[in-house]
Amino acid sequence: MRRILWVAGVSLALHTLVFILFDRYRDLTLNLGALFVHGHDISDIPPVMGAGFGVLAIIVIVAGVLFDRLVQFLWHDSE
């Protein structure tokens, strides 16, 4: 359990770092958030970005945990 929480925390930290550093990732977040929030005004950008950020965070955490499980499975399978 502790390992899964550690992997989820690292995945979320990487997600936040990539969001801050890369403009294309922020555009992806905005476009993904627009699917869930029906706002098309300039004042609706923070809720749209928040929704996109949350959805991408969940996707990144799930992908990180699945990748960790795959590596763990392959590591124990090779022994």
Residue 30: the pLDDT is: 87
For the whole model, what pTM was predicted? 0.79
Phi, psi of 38 (to 5 degrees): -95, 60
Confidence of residue 34 (pLDDT cuts 50, 70, 90): confident
* Torsion angle (degrees, nearest 10) of CA 29, 32, 37, 42: 50
Mean pLDDT score across all residues of the chain: 87
pLDDT band at 24 (very low <50, low <70, confident <90, very high): very high
Domain count, the chain: 1
* Spatial CB neighbours of 46, under 8 Å, sequence gap ≥ 6: none
What's the pLDDT tens digit per position in 51-76? 899 999 999 999 999 999 998 888 88
* Residue 78: predicted pLDDT: 65
Non-local (6+) Cβ contacts of 51 within 8 A are: 32, 33, 36, 37
Structural domain of 19: 2-78
